[in-house]
Amino acid sequence: MKAARFVIIALLIWSLSPLAWQLYTSFCTDQALVTPFAPLEQRWTLAHYQSVLQSNPPFIRYLFNSLFAGAISTALTLLLAIPASYSLSKLGQRSALIIKCLLIGCALFPYVLLFLALLEIARYLQLGNSLIALAIPYAALSQPLAVLLLTNAFSDLPPELEDAARVEGLSVLQRFRWILLPLISPAIASTSILVFLFSWNEYPIALTWISDSNKLTLPVAMARIAGSSIHSVPYGPYAAATVIGSIPLILLVMVFQKPIVSGLTTGAVKG
Amino acid sequence: MTLELRQVGRNINKQWIVESLTMNVADNECLALVGPSGCGKSTTLRLIAGLDPVSAGSIHISGRDITSLTPAERSVGMVFQSYALLPHLTVFENLELGLRIRGISKRDRTSKIRQILDLVQLWNRAGNRPAELSGGQRQRVALARALIREPEVYLLDEPMSNLDAQLREDIRPELRRLVLEQRKPTIYVTHDQHEAMAMAQRIAVLHEGKIEQIDTPYNLYHNPYSLFVARFIGRPQINCLKDDSDHVRAVRPESIRFSDSGLSGKLQSREWLGNSQLLFLETQQGLIRMMAPPEQTIPEQIRLTWRAEDEILFNVETGLRLSR
């Protein structure tokens, strides 16, 4: 028991200390960063946050861009993945297995290799500089993982629940509304988080599809801060931007923590 | 009002899961479907409910052909083995869902649910989720959901197999009161032949997707048409004696007596059953099970006999009964 606790604490330090370091950096003056142990009159500052928030366009703008692109791509992903997974869970074992193997193949494919082709498509269809259009490749790239996760959730449901509902006269849509969606909601929550995270962190596609500085997403905007000067790296503003960029994610996970954990640990309805 | 199956079959990948089932269930009659697992009894129920498509034959309720109707249009009430209650809804909401889909007003829904929950004595648990109920209570909710539809046919799929033996015995009279008093055709699927005999007027024995025999419990026990039925019905199992002839002689364990002459045997083991004892005897014609009164003493020289009329003869090849 004691050993287990030690391991957990070690793991927490391992994974949280870079974040703590970033948080610390974001509140330090430039002076304090380069002379960490010297006594200084002014060690703490909010200047980095001020500079980030008051830039033009303000950093909050990128936050909303990312939230917007993330929300649209998550919604689009679920809209396609839920019906697909339901059908897949009803399919014969053999064909379902073949499709699942293909999906795993797609999920493992390094998507960076696609981005030149995607760029061509975006140029041809004039999808550049649109956050809604950005959701299309995001939803497509998230599809394999989402379908696999949700198919498992559908397969775990006892088939008798739907049989009973059919005897009661519920149509497919009514079964979704009253039975299937409520029962797989933990899986939907954890899938949404993963899709949202992907879209939140995605860099190469966002970099190439969006050039209008009003429509940048967070990773691209942060990279711009980091590379804004050739003479120095603006550690402070960069750290502040990272902290601001992480807050929505932390909030999201905290809100959905319960369904995610219950979705991971139990078969949702069995037992 | 009767339920009628005419030559009904279900075919998956060119294999018959059930084949040419023909049966009639009258009003006020409970027919039990029994058979080993995989014999097609649950499939038969799903065909009647409309959950699986029928590949051959037709199904009729009160003379009306319902073969191509959807489950909802068939007016069947079904109780599932796992009860199939929705875990995220309360007892009340579980019962309400079907009524709501059928467009019944809130006031009528509430009064109907109240009435049915009073009947199964669960009104005080209306606000509970299924997880907060005991197995027996869940079973009664599942039953209430079937009753509330006022269906023309009741289908019960192993409704008590998730309950422990004592509870099963306690609930049986309750189940009889609730379902059989509706005076509707009822099909009761079970793998437990005691339950079948306790609940049903007639029993259909299924074997590899076909009906071996439909009969009263008495006739199944005393006049089985085939060796399969003879072996399947009755515990301890019937003794099957094989000599050099082309037939099998089957004798029930309680028909075997000790005597001065007859088949000689050796006691292998005995089981006390409380009101009787079960003896396992080794003979030249195979192992013989014998039911004896508990006070029965075992003679030194064991010789076994039985009355000729207690013996049933079956053809070795076909397994069918030979006329006496």
B287 and B167 fall within a common domain = no
Residues A169/A75, Cβ–Cβ less than 8 Å: no
Query: Do residues A119 and A211 lie in contact, with contact meaning Cβ atoms separated by under 8 Å?
Result: no
Of B153-157, B173-177, B231-235, give the lowest mean pLDDT range. B173-177
pLDDT tens digits along B160-169:
888 888 888 8
Band of pLDDT at residue A269, cut at 50, 70 and 90: very low
Flag whether pLDDT at A227 surpasses 80: no
Q: Tell me the chain B residues in contact with residue A156 when contact means C-beta distances shorter than 8 Å.
A: none
The residue with greater pLDDT, A43 or B298, is B298
Interface probe, candidates B48, B70, B97, chain A, greatest A C-beta count within 10 A: B97
Min Cα separation B95/chain A (Å): 10
Say whether the peptide bond before residue B236 is cis (omega within 30 degrees of 0). Answer: yes
What is the distance between the alpha carbons of residues A159 and B140, in angstroms, rounded to a whole number?
20
Say yes or no: B94 and B150 in one domain: yes
**pLDDT at residue number A196:** 92
pLDDT on residue A259: 66
CA distance B233 to chain A (A): 29
Cβ distance B71 to A169 less than 8 Å, yes or no, reads yes
Q: Which residue did the predictor score with more confidence, A204 or B324?
A: A204
User: Is position B63 within any domain?
Assistant: yes
Q: Which of B228, B257, B282 is where one domain is finished?
A: B228
| Same-domain pairing of B19 and B56 | yes
- The per-residue pLDDT for A266 is 45
Query: B321 in a domain, yes or no?
Result: no
B79 → chain A, closest CA residue: A164
CB contact under 8 A, A168 and B46: no
Rounded CA gap, B18 and B38, in Å? 10
Give the distance from CA B249 to its chain's centroid: 27
CB distance A160–B84 less than 8 Å? Answer: yes
Looking at residue A161, what is its pLDDT? 93
- Beta bridge pairs of residue B278: B271, B291
Give the per-residue pLDDT at B91.
95
- Is position B322 within any domain? no
B151 and B294, same domain (yes or no): no
DSSP string of A120-186, one letter each residue: HHHHHHT-TT-HHHHHHHHHHHHHHHHHHHHHHHHHHS-HHHHHHHHHHT--HHHHIIIIIHHHHHH
Q: Of B228, B251, B280, which marks where a domain is finished?
A: B228
Whether residue B163 lies inside any domain: the answer is yes
Task: Tell me how far CA of residue A84 lies from CA of A111, A112, A151, A154, B175, in angstroms.
Answer: 22, 25, 8, 11, 41
Substitution target in B88, B95, B96, B113 with the highest count of A β-carbons within 10 Å is: B88
pLDDT higher than threshold 60 for residue A270:
no
Q: What is the pLDDT of residue B295?
A: 87
Mind listing the pLDDT tens digit for each residue in A60-107? 899 999 999 999 999 999 999 999 999 999 998 899 999 999 999 998
Q: What pTM was computed for the model?
A: 0.83
pLDDT exceeds cutoff 70 at A144: yes
Q: Is B41 helix (H, G, I), strand (E, B) or coil?
A: helix
- Single out the residue in B178, B206, B228 at which a domain terminates: B228
Among partner residues B49, B88, B102, which is closest to A169 by beta-carbon distance? Answer: B102
A268 pLDDT higher than 50: no
Domain count, chain B: 2
Q: What's the mean pLDDT in A112-127?
A: 87
3-state secondary structure of B29: coil
pLDDT at A258 over 90: no
Q: What is the pLDDT of residue A271?
A: 37
Domain interval for residue B273 = 237-315
What is the 8-class DSSP label of residue B321? Answer: B
Whats the size of chain A, residue-wise? 271
A169 → chain B, closest CA residue: B72
Same domain, B302 and B176: no
Nearest CA of chain B to the CA of A141: how many Å? 33
Q: How many CB pairs under 8 A join A and B?
A: 58
Residue at B323 is within a domain: no
pLDDT of residue A141: 93
CATH number of residue B222's parent domain: 3.40.50.300
Are residues B158 and B168 in contact, defined by beta-carbon separation less than 8 angstroms? no
Instruction: Provide, rounded to the nearest whole percent, the portion of chain A with pLDDT above 70.
Output: 93
Helices and strands (H, E) in chain B, number of each type: 8, 17
Distance, in Å, from the CA atom of B284 to the CA atom of B266, rounded to the nearest integer, reads: 10
The DSSP bridge pattern shows strands B186-189 and B153-157 to be parallel
> Distance between CA atoms of B150 and B75, rounded to whole angstroms?
8
Question: Do the beta carbons of residue B98 and residue A168 sit within 8 Å?
Answer: yes
| Pair A131, A66: CB distance under 8 Å | no
Q: Note the pLDDT tens digit of each residue in B12-40.
A: 989 999 999 999 999 989 999 999 988 99
Chain B residues 42-61 with a CB less than 8 Å from chain A? 46, 49-51
CATH code at B259?
2.40.50.140
Within this chain, do residues B193 and B285 fall inside the same structural domain, yes or no? no
B122 min Cα distance to partner chain A (Å) = 20
Beta strand pairing call for B202-207 and B30-34: parallel
Residue B13: which region, alpha, beta or left (left: phi > 0; alpha: psi -120 to 50)? left
Average pLDDT over every residue of A14-36: 86
Answer whether B84 sits within 8 Å of A163, measured CB to CB.
Answer: yes
Asked if residue A267 has pLDDT above 70, the reply is no
Query: pLDDT per residue over B93-115, tens digit each?
Result: 999 999 999 999 999 999 999 99
Q: Does residue B165 sit in the same domain as residue B241?
A: no
Looking at the partner chain, which of A164, A170, A183 has a beta carbon nearest the beta carbon of B80?
A: A164
| Claim to verify: residue B192 and residue B244 sit in the same structural domain | no
B258-293 pLDDT, tens digit per residue, is 988 888 888 999 999 888 999 999 988 889 999 999
Whether residues B140 and B259 fall in one domain: no
The answer as to whether B104 is a domain residue is yes
Give ipTM to 2 decimals. Answer: 0.85
**Chain A residues close to B76, C-beta within 8 Å:** 167
CA–CA gap between residue A105 and residue A99 (Å, rounded): 10
Q: Which residues of A touch B (CB under 8 A)?
A: 158, 160-161, 163-170, 174, 178-179, 182-183, 269
Q: Using CA atoms, how far apart are residues A202 and A216, in angstroms rounded to an integer? A: 12
Q: Answer yes or no: do B59 and B180 share one domain.
A: yes
Whether residue B138 is contained in a domain is answered as yes
DSSP string, A21-79: HHHHHHHB-HHHHHSTTS--S--B-SHHHHHHHTSSS-HHHHHHHHHHHHHHHHHHHHH
Delineate the domains of chain A, giving CATH numbers in brackets.
58-216+247-265 (1.10.3720.10)
Count the Cβ atoms, other than its own, within 10 Å of residue A231: 4
- Residue B13's φ and ψ, nearest 5 degrees, are 50, 50
Query: Which residue among B78, B82, B86 sits closest to A167, beta carbon to beta carbon?
Result: B78
Count of H-run helices and E-run strands, chain A: 13, 0
Decide if B9 is inside a domain: yes
Judged by average pLDDT, the poorest of A110-119, A222-231, B313-322 is: A222-231
Confidence of residue A263 (pLDDT cuts 50, 70, 90): low
| Residues B78 and B110 both lie in one domain | yes
Q: Please, what is the average pLDDT of chain B?
A: 91
Find the mean pLDDT for residues B143-160.
92
| Residue-level pLDDT at B164 | 86
Within this chain, do residues B197 and B272 fall inside the same structural domain, yes or no?
no
Mean pLDDT of B42-68: 94
